[in-house]
A and B are shown apart, each in its own frame.
Chain A
Amino acid sequence: MSGEKDSLARSLCWNCQSEVGGEYFCDHCIKIQPAPSDVDFFQRLGLPRHLTIDLQDLERRFHDLSRKIHPDLFQQRSEREKAISLQNAAILNTAYRTLRDPILRVEYLINVEEGAVKDISAKAPPDLLEEIMELQEALEEFKQLRRTPSGEGARLKETLMAKRDRLGARKDILEKDLLSLFQEWDRFQDQRPDYADGPEEHRKSLLRRMKDLLSARAYLRTVLQDLDEGLRDR
């Protein structure tokens, strides 16, 4: 993929001054090269910026690269090479950890696409806002009631459990929606087809929709954790 390679930063090998293009090793003198800061995690693992990733393929790439750049292999080399291999392996390991997990992967993609590190804050899905408020009140009431065993506590617990399951199902749906956006994103990356509102608009809208889903999911996750914590038998 020469086009991809051209887009990488070009710089000079620290050892022989030949031109290098973001590869792990200099073509000329085969010395290990520091990772340029503008090479993203996808590129580090030799992948296009896709959200659907075959995990077995990812693991194979990670293992193959580890066999080449791990600090163990540079123990007998110069201090400079040792330091570079340490930093490169650190980035590779972080890249693999990030891309292996679909949520970390999409959060990372949004960050690189938007060119800045922005946290995705947890936000309640508007249609669930009221229900969740009621739920939290009920949970508080349940915690109070539990101090003295009563039939009312048991009934309330059952209601809460049912609501918990409903919210859990909703979270599953959010995750499914997110996965279908993954596919849409990948198609867009491959073809950049002529969308009525133009590729740039479409890109932005896809990122925004993914961000909204992530915010809602993060919120639901916290609520579910609180519920599980509160309902756990002491």
Chain B
Amino acid sequence: MIRVVELHKAFGGQQVLRGVNLELETGKITTIIGGSGCGKTVLLKHLNALLLPDRGSVMVDGADITKIGESALNAIRQKFGVLFQGAALLDSMTIYDNVAFPLREKTKLTESEIEKRVDERLNQVGLAGMGYKYPAEVSGGMKKRAGLARALAMEPEIVLFDEPTTGLDPLLGKSIHELIRKMHGAFGFTGVIVSHDIPEVFKISDRVAMLANGVIAEAGPTRNFLASSNPVVRQFIQGDVEGPLSVL
């Protein structure tokens, strides 16, 4: 389980997170929604210590990752897979080498075992036979699929998805959601999705949390969340310009 306790983070003079408290249940997909620039990605990057808080803690399986040393942190990071917003594939490598990269760096698998695992992952994300291409030679949707294949290469316990459908057309977006659902079924990881692809993302979420004004305004199982009477949640889900959330 991941538990975020009283997380505060500011950049320069701008306070982004003002005391976030959130529990992410093991084996479930939790989606974090919120307006653009409200700090969703900042919160996500705290979950595997890509960012460190000014105050507060992030507990992963009982360990506070904001206070542990580098080697302990690396051991915990190996439990994570991350699909970045732009996929963040290493552009000097082919897609095959990108997926093989964590396996080569972090396991003692032989090259033939790595090949088998990479082919399996590429097949699962619908990129069979595309491994020889470089990231610059494929579309945005294919990059996201390749990023997902790399995120799942080490069979992580937790997978973080940073805006997995941003920049994709609705059909591709749906196919990425479907892929996440399918992979979750196959691997049973704990998923954390940051998205504003509403309402599509609710279809694959077990739980939803909404970040507004630097705190979690509402969190709970998807059905309860959608039925929430919290005016902030209602305004955001319904896309109303008027309401407690300032749009401009």
User: Is this pair of chains taken from one and the same complex?
Assistant: no
Residues of B within 8 A of A (CB): none
